[in-house]
Amino acid sequence: MKQDMIVILDLGSTENTVVARQIRELGVYSEIHPHDITAEQLNELPNVKGIILNGGENRVVDGQAVDVDQAVYACGCPVLSIDHPTAKCQQRFAAIPGDEEMKKFVFDICNAEPNWNMKNFIEDQVERIREQVGDKKVLLALSGGVDSSVVAAMLIKAIGQQLVCVHVNHGLMRKNESESVVEVFKNQLHANLIYVDAVERFLGKLENVADPEQKRKIIGGEFIRVFEEEARKLEGIDFLGQGTIYPDIIESGTKTAKMVKSHHNVGGLPEDLKFELVEPLKQLFKDEVRACGVELGLPESMVYRQPFPGPGLGVRCLGAITRDRLEAVRESDAILREEFEKAGLNKKVWQYFTVVPDFKSVGVKNNARCFDYMVIIRAINTVDAMSATIERVDWDVLQRITDRILAEVGNVCRVCYDMSPKPPATIEFE
């Protein structure tokens, strides 16, 4: 293994990620693990040089104070504790130590080398994946999103043709998105890729369904069914690759922290389809996932793309989805993205997209009355997606986008700009 590692054990701190990032910024790889990791599991982790017991306000779970397996103290690594009452460690702090004190622990006491970088991380993960998978096969749902794309590239590097990728085109992808997944993964990286055209199936199920939650349920549920059908056609698959990243784990709740929201990529598969998970990104933060993707050779457009919700354009074609409005969303979104890129806004604005409501308004085209749809442009900035402010897009840029949408997108006679912050408006409309 290339990298040394400091292990952070979560004993109820709300700041595990702060400590993990602090150590990585010192150039040393760090991983966060639950407090009840056994000494054996700890010994199986590669190159552990030191352990940090990170206590805090969630230390008491169900009336019981959590503690570590006492054998952890005997595993031979120096132990530092933060806000955790133990006498058996080399160093104790009441709060997160400053950089100088942390450096002393990491380099002087643990003798760790500052060898954390993406190249070494990838080499180590490739080795760990090969060890875990052996000569077995791994199945992966490849949506084309950042996380699944980076996992795919990592798994291709590690196990090549033993990886089977399934890309489901549910008809709610952005313009040319499915095509670019096939181009990059099948044609350039020679992945074993199964492309499933499920457009008619999804649109059929969604016909006349106007309720947003119902739409989301149908899209999510149908996705699992299509994926399951493909999985059943394949033989000899023991593993499921997942693009889980560290923030997903936090949001789903750790053993000491409460759940924020349920999170799954391909959760919900039936019980008899049991796979062991391969999650090589699960210790990474989003910016590190992107850096990993670039290092693995993925195109920047794929790695630095803006967030895109699982239900895709389905939640931007408001109300009951119709094909003409879905096309209007797709085409106007493509124009918006093109013009934002030309204006350099793609690097500045966190998320931007168009929506098409399910009502028409009166207009005039070619000297005659028309009754056509409306496109709403939304462009927002945020840190954590919990709250957001709108981007004050330059008037000329907005004018150009409007002119192009009105000229190039059928059935549209009006373009509006959404001025609403979150709260009270959410980022998406449904």
Q: Give the interface with ligand XMP as residue ranges (CB under 6 A).
A: 307, 309-311, 351, 385, 422, 426-428
CA dist 282 and 37 (Å) reads 16
Residue matched to tokens 């462009």: 379
Degrees, nearest 5: CA angle 194-302-16? 105
Q: Which is nearer to ligand XMP, 27 or 212 (CB)?
A: 212
**Please, how many CA atoms are within 13 Å of residue 16, restricted to the half-sphere of its CB?**
34
User: Which is closer to ligand XMP, CB of 49 or CB of 305?
Assistant: 305
- For ligand XMP, the closer of residues 19 and 427 by Cβ is 427
The nearer residue to ligand XMP, 56 or 312, going by C-beta atoms, is: 312
Cα within 13 Å of Cα(366), Cβ side: 3
Least separation in angstroms between residue 125's CB and ligand XMP is 23
Closest to ligand XMP by CB, 400 vs 422, is 422
Nearest-approach distance from CB 385 to ligand XMP, in angstroms: 4
HEC-encoded secondary structure of the chain: CCCCEEEEEEEECCCHHHHHHHHHHCCCEEEEEECCCCHHHHHHCCCEEEEEEEECCCCEECCEECCCCHHHHHCCCCEEEECCCCCCCCEEECCCCCHHHHHHHHHHHCCCCCCCCHHHHHHHHHHHHHHHHCCCEEEEECCCCHHHHHHHHHHHHHHHHHEEEEEEECCCCCCCHHHHHHHHHHHHCCCEEEEEECHHHHHHHHCCCCCHHHHHHHHHHHHHHHHHHHHHHCCCEEEEECCCCHHHHHHCCCCCCCCCCCCCCCCCCCCCCCCEEECCCCCCCHHHHHHHHHHCCCCHHHHCCCCCCCCHHHHCECCCCCHHHHHHHHHHHHHHHHHHHHCCHHHCCCEEEEEECCCCEEEEECCEEEEEEEEEEEEEECCCCCCEEECCCCHHHHHHHHHHHHHHCCCEEEEEECCCCECCCCCCCC
Least Cβ distance, residue 118 to ligand XMP (angstroms): 24
Minimum CB–partner distance for residue 108 and ligand XMP (Å): 43
Minimum distance from residue 392 beta carbon to ligand XMP (Å) = 19
When the beta carbons of 100 and 384 are compared against ligand XMP, the nearer one is: 384
How many Cβ atoms from other residues are within 10 Å of residue 276's Cβ? Answer: 11
- List all residues 6 or more positions away from 37 whose beta carbon is below 8 Å from its beta carbon: 9, 68, 69, 72
Nearer to ligand XMP, 299 or 310 (CB): 310
Residue whose CB is less far from ligand XMP, 121 or 429: 429
Give the shortest CB-407-to-ligand XMP separation in angstroms. Answer: 28
Q: Output 45 or 218, the one with its CB closest to ligand XMP.
A: 218
Q: Which is nearer to ligand XMP, 29 or 202 (CB)?
A: 202
Whole-number minimum distance, CB 165 to ligand XMP, in Å? 19
Q: How far is the CB of 143 from ligand XMP (least distance, A)?
A: 9
Query: By C-beta, is 277 or 386 nearer to ligand XMP?
Result: 386
Least distance (Å) between residue 429 CB and ligand XMP: 8
Q: What whole-number distance in Å separates Cα of residue 113 and Cα of residue 346?
A: 38
Q: How far is the CB of 223 from ligand XMP (least distance, A)?
A: 11
**Least CB distance from residue 404 to ligand XMP, whole Å?**
23
